[in-house]
Amino acid sequence: MTPKGVRREVASAMVLHADVEPVAQEETAPEAEAVEGRSLAQLAWSRIIKDRVALISLIIMLLALFLAAFSGVINNLRGQTVQDFHQNLISNDGALPFGHFGGVSWAHPVGVEPGTGRDLFARLLVGSRYSFIVAFSSTILTVFLGVTIGSIAGYSRGWVDSLLGRTMDLILSFPLLLVLLALSPIIVDRLHSLHLQGNNAEIFYLIIVLSFFGWPYLARVVRGQVLSLREREFVEASISLGAPTRRVLFKEIVPNLWAPVIVYATLLLPSFIAAEATLAYLGVGLVEPTPSWGSMLESSVAYFNVDPFFLFVPGLYLFIVVLAFNLIGDAVRDALDPRAGRS
């Protein structure tokens, strides 16, 4: 090979090396990070814990539930019961508590009851337990009836839907408060004849009546959702495959209703708490000596001019608890809203 040919070969090798070298030195692109999907429940929870108002309300709600659930243990540790009459803490003439703010002390952190000297804190805790029993039981029964009947009405259509719809309209036409006041002595006496001891008859009456008049509202909401879901592709596919009605209804449709049902339940619970207190104030439901927020408010009216603290204690506690539950309901509603921001 001539020197000129050698130079051409060397030049060609250098050009090839120059073309290949940048490719060899180029760094490989990093692998794309895997994106982990989150369920609607995880998204909702992440939104709730980022909301300060919702987080504070959740803490208050859990604290109120804890105090109500362990009210007996707490009162035993304090050495107080709802029926301990501390006559030495009230005056003989006006039956008013000694000291400021209704007899507030270390032994009685929110004072004592005028006229009897019973510890208000012990009565508040026990009264909250009964209120939560009525509210949670009524909410669970209302949700069960509303989801079941509303799903059947929306899926069946035809005469079944018409019959259930007219039944809802009939129940909603009754004035709830008047019915509760009118039927209370009759039904409670019948329940007592069934050997229900203590306040079980009154509690059972409140749960049944509140649930009976509460489910049509939820049933209407569920019926509208079912009418929409019935036309979805996955439901039509299940029907075309020959799935029985029970499976289509309770396996395909009902699981997709949990978001609006949870929102409705969280808003329904505080309304039942307030309803129980209102009925107790009017003399329906729990009666003495069993404590109740409503009965404590009713008893405080006579002492308001001389001992306003007796009214503020149960009233403020009821207000804070109901407000906390309502704020939690609003937070759950916003967290489950698919149109809300994902940030």
Q: Provide the pLDDT for residue 343.
A: 43
Could you please state the CATH topology (level 3) that the domain comprising 62-77+117-335 is classified under: MetI-like fold (1.10.3720)
Look up residue 75 and give its two tokens. Answer: 């009162």
293 and 33 Cβ atoms separated by less than 8 Å: no
Tell me the residue type at 247: R
Task: Indicate the Cα dihedral angle 235, 236, 242, 247, nearest 10°.
Answer: 20
What's this model's pTM, rounded to 2 decimal places? 0.80
Residue type, 323: L
Residue ranges per structural domain of the chain? 62-77+117-335
Q: Which two tokens stand for residue 107?
A: 């032994």
Q: What is the mean pLDDT of each run of 10 residues along the chain (343 residues)?
A: 50 48 46 57 77 88 92 87 79 73 81 83 89 92 92 84 89 83 82 77 87 90 86 82 80 82 87 87 78 84 81 89 88 72 47
pLDDT at 70: 92
ω before 289 within 30° of 0 (cis)? Answer: yes
